[in-house]
Amino acid sequence: MIGVSGENVREWGRCRAGSFSAGEKARLGEHFLPNHVAAVESYPQKAFCGIFSDDGKLFVSACQDQTLRVYTCRGRALRLLRSARGRDVGWSILDVAFSPDASQCLYSSWSDYIHVYDIYGDGDNHTALDLRPEERRFAVFSLAVGPDGREVLGGANDGCVYVYDREVQRRVLRVPAHEDDVNAVALGDAGGHLLLSGGDDAVCRAWDRRCLRQERPQPVGLLAGHRDGVTFLHPRGDGRYLVTNSKDQTAKLWDLRRPAGPGGLAAARRAVARQSWDYRWQRAPRRAMATAPLPGDSSLMTYRGHAVLHTLIRCRLAPPPGPGGGLYLGTGCASGAVLVYDVLTGRAVRRLANHGGCVRDVCWHPDGGQLASTSWDGSVRLWAYRESQEEEDEDEAGGGRPTAPLPHGQ
């Protein structure tokens, strides 16, 4: 790590009462964002998703070859712990989630079942959780697991959010949540009471699990402002803030305490109805990337610069313990890059370009110092910060002043 002397600190930004100001912390954090590939894992087919466990000790990836691969994380390396072929996989494994104690991995696909894989069990143990859907062609695109591991949340292609209770071993809720596919679900708070969902109807809804009923369910919050389907959502975990990615080629930051304004839902419906292109194989038309906010748009910030094409591309906030304290947003991109945005300014401060295909998923290590990207080029890359030779030379010469962030995507 570069040395920063007291004199250099005074030149760069004054130290107040032995600590840095919020602005100085942000600039320091930006400087130490991941900037090089520390490790690569390659697969025979497209990689769809990859996440770290909450304690950062494990990483799991899922590939179109229907295989789960679980790694241990040591320093800046991924070491394969176990691999297992998924059960009843249609086309590809679409999402994965760890149990709270990271002893199990849950995964979903084009299947009536969510499966649970026992990472440390003897043999190859998979348990099927039957969601009993009404659709013949059924997929769960997104998973979330409750804080005690009992309830499993799934967002499906029939517009419903499913809740499975592992203790009673049955589906306990099938909630008609959206007017089209539910592409993303998550838990918005540490207690697991706030359920979040986002769909192809371009809106996000918040649900209170304590009063959620299957008959006439009522959301406790609505977020509208995207012009096309929501592909992913990621909450900060404090019951307030979340980010979304969308086929309208933007990501947005939201505050759940600031719901959509009057006419927000109707405006989103009209915008979606005007979309006549298919993101899976067409380029985004100019009208899909309009910059004027929709009526009732309640988002706090909009991020532009990445391409959301081919698949349900994901974005995630940096964890609060890491550099910048959750002030950065990482997102995949159809161009094969990872873009990192400054959450507060909306500016792209890093562009990590090393993949040969669409980056579908990104995940920050819990300590915030590393970022994993999962790509359709059949690889997972682990990104970390490394000093450039120029910075090392400056440090040896007695300099060590942090450099300015690279302009928009370098």
Q: Is pLDDT of 43 > 90?
A: yes
Structure tokens, 162 = 């499913």
Would you give the DSSP letter of residue 66?
Answer: S
Q: Quick one: what percent of the chain has pLDDT higher than 70? A: 86
SS3 246: strand
What is the tens place of the pLDDT at every residue in 131-158? Answer: 999 988 999 999 999 999 999 999 999 9
Q: Distance (Å, rounded) from C-alpha 259 to C-alpha 330?
A: 24
What is the tens place of the pLDDT at every residue in 2-15? Answer: 344 444 444 444 44
Report the pLDDT averaged over residues 375-401: 67
What is the tens place of the pLDDT at every residue in 56-71? Answer: 999 999 999 999 999 9
Q: Which residue has the tokens 């370009």?
A: 353
What is the tens place of the pLDDT at every residue in 197-228? Answer: 999 999 999 999 999 988 889 999 999 999 99
pLDDT at 369: 86
Q: Quick one: what percent of the chain has pLDDT higher than 90? A: 76
Q: Which is nearest to 155 in space by CA: 136, 180, 134?
A: 180
pLDDT at 9: 41
What is the tens place of the pLDDT at every residue in 328-360? Answer: 999 999 999 999 999 999 999 999 998 999 999
What is the tens place of the pLDDT at every residue in 287-325? Answer: 777 789 999 999 999 999 999 999 999 999 999 755 555
Position 368 confidence tier, pLDDT thresholds 50, 70, 90: confident
Q: Distance (Å, rounded) from C-alpha 52 to C-alpha 365?
A: 6
Structure tokens, 222 = 């609505």
pLDDT at 261: 86
pLDDT at 5: 41
Whole-Å CA distances, 80 to 73, 102, 143, 211, 290: 9, 15, 23, 42, 44
On whether the CB atoms of residues 100 and 106 are closer than 8 A, the answer is no
pLDDT at 20: 54
On whether the CB atoms of residues 374 and 360 are closer than 8 A, the answer is yes
Sheet holding 230-235, edge to edge: 230-235, 241-246, 250-255, 301-304
Position 392 confidence tier, pLDDT thresholds 50, 70, 90: very low
Higher per-residue confidence, 247 vs 10? 247
**Among the residues of 227-323, which ranges form H helices?**
264-273
Amino acid in the structure at residue 356: G
Q: Distance (Å, rounded) from C-alpha 157 to C-alpha 135?
A: 9
SS3 196: strand
Amino acid in the structure at residue 300: L
pLDDT at 30: 60
Q: Is pLDDT of 96 > 60?
A: yes
pLDDT at 389: 46
Q: Taking the chain, what is the end-to-end CA distance rounded to the nearest angstrom?
A: 21
Q: What is the CA radius of gyration of the chain?
A: 21
On whether the CB atoms of residues 355 and 44 are closer than 8 A, the answer is no
